[in-house]
């Protein structure tokens, strides 16, 4: 049986408010001596699971309706061009969504339906209660942080299937995974599978960055099946609608695309409104110019028309639209550095100044905002990025890509970026966009997506520990205890990737009994210090105790004299036992490559 | 042809002192327009290469002899038990080394032959000159740092095949890779191959942690073929000699094993002399007790005999031995934490106090010292480890294993530890011991060894950049320039792992022309902002220029007013072109997992 079989879907309940939050329960075996270990409940992003052809139940629909501030309406007329020119030629989209499709809703005229609006009005929503249960915190913290703009709950009223989650410096660090087809198209079912795969391993949000055919229909399938918020970069679809000619883009085409996506239920959208005409020349002397796709599209448009970025000039109209659906801004950093040589330069910081201005403007409409960040930054210059953003943007959540701390490791950029991601998250970044091993080189496959997600869960978790998030170390301690007690199956079950942990173990010691073997697979019985410790107990128990007690008394006096607060008990046997996985400089890795 | 074919063995010469230092030269293609790019010379750990059956030439033999302070002598009598009990049964070791075996040398009576001794006497050795060429620094910096104990040059006089390298906070951060057979034995040839494999990818030193059969002979093969310093943990072999009974260990058996290894040419040895009897009870309340193999062996011995650690009581005798061969101490941290819960605790810091005392004692004998460190530490508590060690140990080089910043990712601990390794290295750790994906789970295979080495090169390089090491960013800038100019082959060649970079690229765009294709493999031509930029130039060149100039003028005034030093040229086309590998939040990873 696989260690992941120790994982079960469970729920945390709030009977009073008729709420239940899915969690993953990890069942554990007893410690030696039959001492039971309680199951560990961990944050779950995979949701309850769904039939891809049917989608998830619209859990939030009742909550939204109960507030009485939205109206159902026919919605924008379907345009086959939404699915690309080949759909127009065919006269239909491929694989049209057949499952239940909620009738679009929007705020009644004059109403605002954003979580920020409610929070500022002092209203505690079901979404906020759901989040508080997930984060194991006071709901008032949720409300006040959302009201202040320091946290967002991306929750489009047209995505009632989603489970509310929160992005903010006061909460668990979140991670995003990207999916989406491209010029090289993949089937819609594959895209849905990728979304489910990413959330299974821990993606808190998913961005659909499709740029190929069937963009509209692919997004429909993804949203209807997604338990996590979905983000997009609408300029990509808008560009498809003008045959890829950046200069042919217009505000009207873009607005229409945004409304199309608002009605489908996109929860947050990347808007490159900070790429101003006058900033483009600041990239002239860069080593790597403009590396943001959306940034280069808008820079091209600005220069082509010699006009200011229409996303900037029409920003307030965008706010009015977002306010009617509760879509959150993800203010894109189109001028982010594409190499450590360009880090923290004039272009990057000029754009950040504008993103700060736009943050305030969006807040004036009660629209939720997060701000995107780099990119490529040497480790010693990472911290200033988040501190500067937090200061200029009045604490609006920061959402960064990495950053990569060196440019010399293509093929390993999930690692170069996880190093920077941990550093920037511990100092206040609220969400990290994952990077896969294929970054800079090609298209990630299923394994790459998993590797990217797990790597970023590590970075986010390391930051949660550094920030002292309540309960952050529970899983670490449970796993280390299992390791110390040679409960191999529990070690696997408690790890971020039980399948890989078990597989690696079995490569060395496949035999089933080894799962409970009381020596370390790396060193063999002779070199297992647990076994050595057991010998000590067997053959020298009394002497050991005497020695220990004597030594203890000595140290005890010494440490008390030194004012140490460490209290010294007589050593119990476990104190002398070793754990699986010795770490004398490299004992473990001194094995036999075969 | 593979991108790694762009790598060639070359040399940096010091004609005056008849020195040549192997470097790896990376040949580059011209930039667009035929502008040539000079080849980049990078630090090389692989040496000149050798026939495993013959070994490397004893380059340093003449240098050592020329100093006139060593004597040749018969050496310790060969004991078959050095190769384990089965060798004794067989009456011979398997695969006895047949290549040239240098006659052992040691310091003449009353002489000291350590690099520290020479440095303190103001003598500039060939080893120091070699190091200065490698590090591209002043040789006086090398001498003064070695004299002060802030850096070491591990260079046993019986390992004349090694290329001198330096470990210290003022120099490039180094990494160590572990090899060695174990209870599950591997062939000697496999071990030699692993050493060559590790140094090919960048291991600065290699530790042979063999614990199985043929330990002596395996080590002989490795040392005779190794261009990098070799480290060991002699207590492992000593324990083999007493059939694995820790309590049967004696100082005499250990001393004999140390001399055996000194004569073979081991350059540094891990000595767990800081595990004192009175410290053992301090581990009583730990979550994971003692996780160091050597630490648990010595703790077991201390308790079994109720005596002080014989490595501590005989430390000065060890110094006298090391001084005659120039073997460096790697003072083992046998009480390092094995989980983040045990980080920075009383046991760990008590042992560090003793390691500091031992450092001073070794220096009194002119013996070189580095100090080993943890282990498992939450990211926010990493820095205090290196700062405390540097202060207590008067700047003696710190040599750490990771540290891992979380315990929940077995199977990915090369990543959890690389995050901590970057943090501890940027604050002063001189050498990092790699961790492979198999850490805590099993024996690393060839791929794991490569992954561990590359991952740690990333951590070390990121720290070198943070520390502002001269020339550290040259490779980053060269690669980013190649990326910006779509010189795919140069991108591969400049990366730490050209083979993987090229393979990942080819998975998406295998066609040979794609290697020079001027669009990004991730997005297809339509979404390549370089292509968009080219369209801008073609169709709106004048407008673009006008817009750019206008915008430039505006920003120019604005930024001059703001006192900015950024000087703004009219944007050249490259300034508007995009580079391979867009990083709009995740554009690149929005591909098709297939």
**Residue B521 at interface with chain A, using a CB cutoff of 8 Å:** yes
Give the number of other CB atoms < 10 A from CB of residue B68: 9
Average pLDDT of every residue of chain B: 87
Query: Cβ of A524 and B576 within 8 Å?
Result: no
- Of A188, A272, A388, which Cα lies nearest the Cα of B582? A272
Peptide bond into A333 cis (omega under 30): no
* Predicted local distance difference test score (pLDDT) of residue B82: 93
* Predicted local distance difference test score (pLDDT) of residue B540: 41
pLDDT at B491 over 80: yes
Query: Cβ of B476 and A408 within 8 Å?
Result: yes
Adjacent-strand bridge partners of A373: A400
Portion 450-479 of A in contact with B at CB < 8 A: 452, 454-455, 457-459, 461-463, 465-466, 473, 475-477, 479
Query: Cβ of A583 and B436 within 8 Å?
Result: no
Portion 95-124 of A in contact with B at CB < 8 A: none
**Residue A385 at interface with chain B, using a CB cutoff of 8 Å:** no
pLDDT digits (tens, 9 = 90+) for B289-318: 888 889 989 998 998 888 999 999 999 999
Decide: residue A561, CB within 10 A, 0-12 exposed, 13-18 middle, 19+ buried: exposed
Q: Residues of A at the annotated binding site for [4Fe-4S] cluster?
A: 520, 523, 528
Cα angle B371-B403-A471, degrees, rounded to a multiple of 5 = 140
Q: Which residues contact B501 (CB under 8 A, 6 or more apart)?
A: A410, A411, A441, B3, B491, B492, B495
Chain B nearest CA to A536, separation (Å): 6
* Predicted local distance difference test score (pLDDT) of residue B513: 54
- Of B492, B498, B564, which Cα lies nearest the Cα of B202? B498
pLDDT at B535 over 80: no
User: Mutate which of A181, A303, A478 to test chain B, going by most B C-beta atoms within 10 A?
Assistant: A303
**Residue A482 at interface with chain B, using a CB cutoff of 8 Å:** no
B378 vs A contacts (CB less than 8 Å): 462, 465-466, 473
B176 vs A contacts (CB less than 8 Å): 585-586
Query: Cβ of A304 and B544 within 8 Å?
Result: yes
pLDDT digits (tens, 9 = 90+) for B124-172: 999 999 999 999 999 999 999 999 999 999 999 999 999 999 999 999 9
B440 close to B410: Cβ distance less than 8 angstroms = yes
A505 vs B573: which has the higher pLDDT: A505
Residue B428 CA to residue B434 CA, distance in Å, equals 17
- Of B453, B546, B377, B430, which Cα lies nearest the Cα of B146? B430
Q: Which residues contact A137 (CB under 8 A, 6 or more apart)?
A: A171, A470
Chain A nearest CA to B398, separation (Å): 12
Instruction: For residue B283, give the chain A residue with the closest CA.
Output: A575
B449 vs A contacts (CB less than 8 Å): 589, 593
Q: Residues of A at the annotated binding site for Zn(2+)?
A: 376, 440
Minimal Cβ distance to B578: which of A284, A291, A500: A291
Half-sphere exposure of B480 (CA within 13 A, CB side): 25
* Predicted local distance difference test score (pLDDT) of residue A285: 83
* Predicted local distance difference test score (pLDDT) of residue A197: 96
Instruction: For residue A441, give the chain B residue with the closest CA.
Output: B505
Helix, strand, coil share of chain B (percent; to 5): 45, 10, 40
Residue B58 CA to residue B163 CA, distance in Å, equals 10
Chain B nearest CA to A163, separation (Å): 23
Chain centre to alpha carbon of residue B18: 27
Residue A306 CA to residue A289 CA, distance in Å, equals 19
Residue B457 CA to residue B517 CA, distance in Å, equals 30
Minimal Cβ distance to B480: which of A208, A341, A444: A341
Chain A nearest CA to B362, separation (Å): 20
Q: Which residues contact A411 (CB under 8 A, 6 or more apart)?
A: A437, A441, B495, B497, B500, B501, B503, B504
A549 vs B contacts (CB less than 8 Å): 281
Query: Cβ of B583 and A336 within 8 Å?
Result: yes
Query: Cβ of A481 and B287 within 8 Å?
Result: yes
Query: Cβ of B412 and A500 within 8 Å?
Result: yes
pLDDT at B557 over 90: no
B181 vs A contacts (CB less than 8 Å): 592
Give the number of other CB atoms < 10 A from CB of residue A391: 10
pLDDT at B493 over 70: yes
* Predicted local distance difference test score (pLDDT) of residue A271: 98
Residue B302 CA to residue B84 CA, distance in Å, equals 25
Chain centre to alpha carbon of residue A265: 19
* Predicted local distance difference test score (pLDDT) of residue A542: 46
* Predicted local distance difference test score (pLDDT) of residue B510: 62
What is the interface size between A and B, counted as CB pairs within 8 Å? 720
| Spans in chain A with pLDDT lower than 70 | 1-4, 182-186, 509-594
Classify the phi-psi angles of B24: left when phi > 0, otherwise alpha if psi is within -120 to 50, otherwise beta: beta
Q: Which pTM does this prediction carry?
A: 0.90
Minimal Cβ distance to A476: which of B408, B418, B567: B408
pLDDT band at B284 (very low <50, low <70, confident <90, very high): confident
């Amino acid at each position: 049986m696989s260690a992941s079989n120790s994982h079960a879907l469970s729920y945390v309940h709030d009977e009073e408010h008729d709420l239940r939050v899915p969690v993953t329960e990890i069942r554990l075996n007893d410690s030696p001596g039959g001492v039971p270990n309680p199951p560990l409940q961990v944050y779950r992003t995979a949701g309850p699971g769904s039939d891809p052809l049917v989608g998830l139940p619209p859990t939030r629909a009742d909550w939204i309706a109960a507030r009485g501030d939205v109206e159902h309406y026919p919605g924008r007329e379907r345009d086959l061009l939404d699915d690309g020119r080949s759909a127009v030629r065919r006269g239909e989209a491929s694989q049209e969504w057949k499952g239940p499709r909620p009738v679009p809703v929007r705020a009644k005229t004059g109403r605002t339906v954003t979580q920020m609006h409610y929070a500022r009005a002092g209203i505690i929503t079901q979404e906020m209660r759901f989040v508080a249960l997930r984060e194991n915190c006071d709901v008032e913290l949720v409300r006040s942080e959302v009201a202040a703009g320091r946290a967002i709950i991306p929750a489009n009223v047209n995505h009632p299937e989603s489970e509310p989650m929160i992005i903010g410096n006061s909460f668990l660090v979140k991670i995003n995974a990207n999916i989406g087809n491209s010029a090289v198209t993949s089937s819609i079912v594959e895209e849905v599978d990728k979304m489910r795969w990413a959330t299974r391993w821990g993606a808190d949000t998913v961005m659909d960055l499709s740029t190929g055919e069937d963009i509209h229909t692919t997004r429909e399938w993804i949203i209807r099946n997604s338990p996590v918020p979905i983000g997009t970069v609408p300029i990509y679809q808008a560009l498809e609608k003008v045959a890829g000619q950046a200069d042919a883009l217009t505000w009207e085409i873009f607005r229409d695309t945004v409304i199309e996506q608002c009605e489908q239920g996109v929860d947050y959208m990347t808007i490159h409104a900070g790429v101003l005409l006058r900033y483009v020349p600041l990239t002239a002397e860069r080593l790597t110019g403009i590396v943001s796709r959306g940034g280069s599209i808008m820079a091209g448009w600005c220069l082509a028309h010699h006009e200011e970025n229409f996303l900037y000039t029409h920003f307030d109209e965008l706010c009015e639209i977002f306010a009617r659906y509760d879509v959150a801004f993800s203010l894109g950093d189109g001028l982010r550095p594409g190499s450590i040589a360009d880090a923290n330069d004039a272009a990057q910081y000029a754009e950040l100044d504008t993103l700060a201005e736009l943050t305030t403007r969006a807040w004036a409409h009660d629209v939720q905002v997060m701000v995107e960040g780099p990119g490529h930054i040497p480790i010693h210059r990472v911290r200033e990025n988040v501190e500067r953003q937090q200061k200029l943007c009045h604490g609006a959540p920061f959402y960064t890509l990495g950053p990569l701390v060196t440019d010399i490791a293509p093929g390993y950029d999930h690692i170069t970026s996880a190093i920077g991601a941990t550093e920037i998250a511990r100092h206040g970044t609220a969400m990290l966009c994952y990077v896969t091993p294929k970054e800079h080189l090609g298209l990630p496959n299923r394994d790459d997506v998993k590797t990217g997600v797990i790597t970023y869960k590590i970075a986010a978790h390391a930051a949660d520990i550094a920030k002292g998030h309540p309960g952050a170390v529970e899983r670490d301690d449970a796993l280390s205890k299992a390791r110390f007690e040679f409960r191999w199956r529990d070690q696997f079950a408690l790890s971020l990737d039980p399948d890989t942990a078990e597989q690696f173990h079995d490569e060395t010691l496949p035999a089933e009994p080894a799962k409970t073997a009381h020596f370390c697979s790396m060193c063999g019985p002779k070199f297992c210090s647990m076994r050595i410790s057991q010998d000590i107990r067997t053959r020298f128990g009394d002497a050991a105790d005497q020695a220990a007690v004597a030594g203890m008394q000595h140290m005890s006096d010494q440490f008390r004299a030194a004012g140490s607060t460490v209290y010294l008990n007589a050593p119990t046997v476990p104190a002398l036992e070793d754990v699986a996985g010795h770490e004398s400089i490299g004992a473990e890795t001194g094995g036999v490559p075969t």
